Amino acid sequence: MSWGQAATSEKVTNSGLNAELLYEILVGELDLRQGDWNSGFALLLDAARKSDDYELYSRSVEIALQARSGDGALIAARAWLQSYPQDRKANMQVLQILLALNQTNESLEPLKKELSLAPAQERADAIAIIPRYYVRAKDKAAVLKVVAQALDPYLNTSDTGAVAWTTLGRMRLLNDDTAGALEAAQKGAQLDPKSIQPGLLALELMTRKVDGAQTLVLQSLKNQKSAEYALSYVRILIELNRYDDALKQLTDITQQYPDQAEAWLVLGSLQYEQNLDKAAEHALSQYVKLVAKKTGENITKGLQQAQSRRASIMARQGNMQGAIKLLETLPATTEEEKRNILAAKVQLMREQGQWQAAFDTLNQANNKDTDLIYEQAMLAERLNKIDVMETLLRQIMAQQPNYYNAYNALGFSWLTEA
């Protein structure tokens, strides 16, 4: 291990390690290997203090954390910060350990230091991430007080005001103060109308049906030059069952950003659910064209969704053969992809009342997927093939003993026969 390197620290000096300290470190590491973390920790922290070695301090904190000794980790981290008072890593260790020990009030100074030490170009990000530090804190009121004090110098500046008010708003929301959270978002938007941060908080407040939140969202929409924020708004509208508003917003997005594939997929899917088949076919086809030469897990899932719904539309129009062929054009390089295509075919047949065809398709596939076997069992029941259904259910129970739906279905079948 190289103990003398401190590339990220404020001090760049030659290692102060001598033969005696190296021996102390060796003994400490041997103690650790033998399971005596107390002795090993004490020796390495002592060596860190004597040598003022950056990596030794870091190692001491690591040892205490691995031993789940919060108090020991805090002692080592504070010693590290005392020796390197302008080092962000050392300060962050103190902050995180204090929060892990639920010492919220004591976290104020290291939080303030983290913000002051952050380079100007990184300070907004440092402010935005604050809620993550305190999400598990028990005393939410204390958290709000600490964060408010730490953010005070940054609330009214053009470069940090919007994100600082947004973060304060999130802390208020953590205390169930929705009115205060909205007020903070509004103040942030006033300071920097182009910042997306207040708008994101407004979206979250919309999900809680806070009066005035949508007004701020609509203001933010006018100042964002990408489709991502608008799509986030659409998702909230759908979550709130405001489908007409979502359709209107999606139509605007696809007109303004015609190359935004995800918008076409969401639009087509929503139109499909609303039985707007012609419009859905157009939107879903646009998505397929836009992603034709792209790859990736999300693209594959999107294609499966788009083509499955296009196939369903074809089946509704009486073109079942074309619908099946369309599903067969989907990529099927993995077992999961093959399984999804099979499930889509069966679902299509079920929608059209083709129970025998759906059963035969699963029977020919000879798959081992318990969900699909259960589907086949239910189709067998639909076809009044009770013996086949019970055989399939027993197969599931042998293959996956905790598949409780199989037990319920078999028990209900016996009860019906009785």
H-state helical runs in 352-385: 355-365, 370-382
pLDDT for the residue numbered 366: 76
Name, in order, each residue with C-beta under 8 angstroms of 279's C-beta and a sequence gap of 6 or more: 268, 271
Please answer whether residues 57 and 48 qualify as being in contact, where contact means their C-beta atoms are separated by less than 8 angstroms. Answer: yes
Please answer whether residues 184 and 215 qualify as being in contact, where contact means their C-beta atoms are separated by less than 8 angstroms. Answer: no
User: What is the phi/psi pair of residue 391, to 5°?
Assistant: -65, -45
Neighbours of 14 (CB within 10 A): 6
pLDDT for the residue numbered 117: 97
pLDDT for the residue numbered 414: 82
Instruction: Give the percent of the chain with pLDDT over 70.
Output: 95
Of the candidates 275, 291, 329, which has an alpha carbon nearest to the alpha carbon of residue 307? 329
Q: List the domains of the chain with CATH numbers.
A: 1-120+128-139 (1.25.40.10), 153-225 (1.25.40), 357-418 (no CATH)
Note the pLDDT tens digit of each residue in 28-58: 788 778 888 888 889 899 999 999 999 999 9
What's the half-sphere exposure (Cβ side, CA atoms, 13 Å) at 129?
11
pLDDT for the residue numbered 396: 92
pLDDT for the residue numbered 12: 42
Work out whether the CA dihedral 358, 361, 364, 366 comes out positive or negative: negative
Average pLDDT over residues 345-373: 90
pLDDT for the residue numbered 15: 53
Name, in order, each residue with C-beta under 8 angstroms of 99's C-beta and a sequence gap of 6 or more: 107, 133, 134, 136, 137
CA distance 141 to 253: 40
Q: Which residues of 199-232 are buried (b: 16+ CB within 10 A; e: fewer)?
A: bbbbbbbbeeebebbbebbebbeeebeebebbbb
User: What is the phi/psi pair of residue 15, to 5°?
Assistant: -60, 140
pLDDT for the residue numbered 418: 57
The amino acid at 285: S
Least confident interval from 89-98, 198-207, 402-411: 402-411
pLDDT for the residue numbered 9: 44
Note the pLDDT tens digit of each residue in 136-162: 999 999 999 999 999 999 999 999 999
Assess whether pLDDT exceeds 80 at residue 417: no
Q: Is the pTM of this model over 0.85?
A: no
Assess whether pLDDT exceeds 50 at residue 96: yes
Of the candidates 51, 82, 77, 49, which has an alpha carbon nearest to the alpha carbon of residue 63? 77
**Placement of tokens 């659910």 in the chain:** 273
Average pLDDT over residues 344-362: 91
CA Rg value for the chain: 30
The dihedral region occupied by 70, where left means phi > 0, alpha psi between -120 and 50, and beta the remainder, is: alpha
Assess whether pLDDT exceeds 70 at residue 13: no
Note the pLDDT tens digit of each residue in 365-416: 877 889 999 999 999 999 999 999 999 999 999 999 999 888 888 888 787 7
Please answer whether residues 43 and 72 qualify as being in contact, where contact means their C-beta atoms are separated by less than 8 angstroms. Answer: no
DSSP state of 160: T
Note the pLDDT tens digit of each residue in 265-283: 999 999 999 999 999 999 9
Torsion of CA 101, 105, 107, 110, to 10 degrees: -150
- In degrees, rounded to 5, the angle at the alpha carbon of residue 209 between the alpha carbons of residues 203 and 215 is 55
The dihedral region occupied by 52, where left means phi > 0, alpha psi between -120 and 50, and beta the remainder, is: left
For residue 133, the surrounding DSSP H or E stretch is helix 130-134
Neighbours of 98 (CB within 10 A): 23
pLDDT for the residue numbered 20: 81
Please answer whether residues 364 and 335 qualify as being in contact, where contact means their C-beta atoms are separated by less than 8 angstroms. Answer: no
Name, in order, each residue with C-beta under 8 angstroms of 136's C-beta and a sequence gap of 6 or more: 99
Of the candidates 226, 198, 228, 234, which has an alpha carbon nearest to the alpha carbon of residue 213? 198
Average pLDDT along the chain: 91
Note the pLDDT tens digit of each residue in 205-240: 999 999 999 999 999 999 988 899 999 999 999 999
Q: At what angle do helices 178-191 and 213-223 cross, to 10 degrees?
A: 20
pLDDT for the residue numbered 18: 76
**Placement of tokens 């303004």 in the chain:** 256
Please answer whether residues 307 and 327 qualify as being in contact, where contact means their C-beta atoms are separated by less than 8 angstroms. Answer: yes
Greater confidence (28 vs 260) lies with 260
Instruction: Give the percent of the chain with pLDDT over 90.
Output: 74
Assess whether pLDDT exceeds 50 at residue 8: no
Greater confidence (33 vs 255) lies with 255
